[in-house]
């Protein structure tokens, strides 16, 4: 298998606090890779560095063979590297469908010239984007709320919508940050099923930060354990759950 993400010897400090410490991870193309660790391990910071939100102090990041160490998030979006957030960032006063239609960039209608002099082009693009959004809505079984204001959706529906927004950009890799947080068990099963479908049917690669070990067990192979900003161990979920170092990192010596 080919590594689509290669993080090599990355470090990051905030003031005197070193959050990421000479960290190296690899994500295989076509995998659903889990990233777990105790609170404060540096998981979200590492995500932010990979996604271009924070600059690394040292080390390098390669995406699909390209050095993206110093490339900002907006450019990575167009290269097919996207992320979700622990708290969904929906446009609350727009419908679920409109939220999806907002995603594709560089639409002709954004140009005043095209709006005035090429209305046919603008209209045809809008229709294509709308159809794609409807296809995503159908894929995620959100048709019953497509015209509902996104701010009125449940936590789980917002997370599905967030996943749908990544689909509108046809990503190569999606970084999922605590996507199970605040989601009821029924909708969580829908989320898991949709992630698996996107992986198997559309070839999406996922890197998943998650505290829900049941979700990690159902979705992820391999699983990487981060502790104090560095990789502690990597393996299958069974190997991770039976690793004494991991148990101690999560629960302390009293767990023995």
Q: How far apart are CA 125 and CA 144, in angstroms?
A: 25
Sorted by sequence, the CB contacts under 8 Å of residue 138 that are 6+ apart come out as: none
Average pLDDT estimate for 213-236: 93
Average pLDDT estimate for 113-137: 75
Average pLDDT estimate for 12-41: 95
CA distances from 248 to 24, 33, 210, 234 (A): 22, 22, 18, 16
Residue-level pLDDT at 113 = 53
Q: Which domains does the chain have, with CATH numbers?
A: 3-90+156-255 (3.40.50.300), 94-152 (no CATH)
Average pLDDT estimate for 107-135: 70
Quote the distance between the C-alpha of residue 253 and its chain's center: 33
Q: Coil, strand or helix: which one is 197? A: helix
Which has the minimum average pLDDT: 12-26, 57-71, 172-186, 224-238? 172-186
Helix or strand holding residue 21 (H, E): strand 17-28
pLDDT over 80 (residue 96): yes
Neighbouring CB atoms inside 10 A of 150's CB total 22
Q: How far apart are CA 20 and CA 45, in angstroms?
A: 8
CB of 154 within 8 A of CB of 187?
A: yes
pLDDT over 50 (residue 196): yes
pLDDT over 60 (residue 122): no
Average pLDDT estimate for 66-75: 94
Q: How far apart are CA 222 and CA 201, in angstroms?
A: 20
């Amino acid at each position: 298998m080919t590594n689509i993400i290669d993080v090599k010897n990355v470090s990051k400090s905030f003031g005197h606090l070193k959050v990421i410490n000479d960290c190296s991870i690899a994500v295989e193309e076509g995998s659903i890779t889990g990233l777990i660790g105790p609170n404060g391990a540096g998981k979200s910071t590492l995500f932010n560095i990979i996604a271009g939100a924070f600059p690394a102090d040292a080390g390098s990041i390669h995406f699909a063979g390209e050095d993206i160490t110093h490339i900002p998030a907006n450019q990575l979006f167009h290269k097919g590297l996207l992320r979700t957030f622990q708290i969904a960032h929906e446009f609350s006063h727009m419908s679920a469908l409109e939220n999806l239609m907002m995603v594709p960039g560089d639409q002709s209608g954004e140009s005043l010239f095209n709006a005035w002099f090429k209305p046919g082009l603008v209209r045809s693009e809008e229709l294509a984007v709308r159809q794609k959004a409807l296809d995503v809505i159908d894929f995620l079984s959100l048709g019953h709320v497509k015209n509902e204001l996104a701010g009125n959706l449940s936590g789980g529906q917002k997370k599905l919508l967030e996943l749908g927004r990544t689909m509108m950009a046809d990503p190569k890799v999606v970084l999922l940050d605590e996507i199970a947080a605040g989601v009821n068990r029924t909708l969580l099963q829908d989320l898991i099923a949709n992630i698996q479908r996107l992986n198997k049917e559309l070839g999406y690669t996922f890197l998943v930060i998650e505290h829900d070990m049941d979700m990690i067990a159902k979705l992820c192979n391999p699983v990487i354990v981060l502790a104090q900003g560095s990789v502690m161990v990597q393996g299958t979920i069974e190997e991770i759950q039976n690793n004494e170092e991991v148990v101690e990192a999560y629960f302390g010596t009293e767990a023995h």
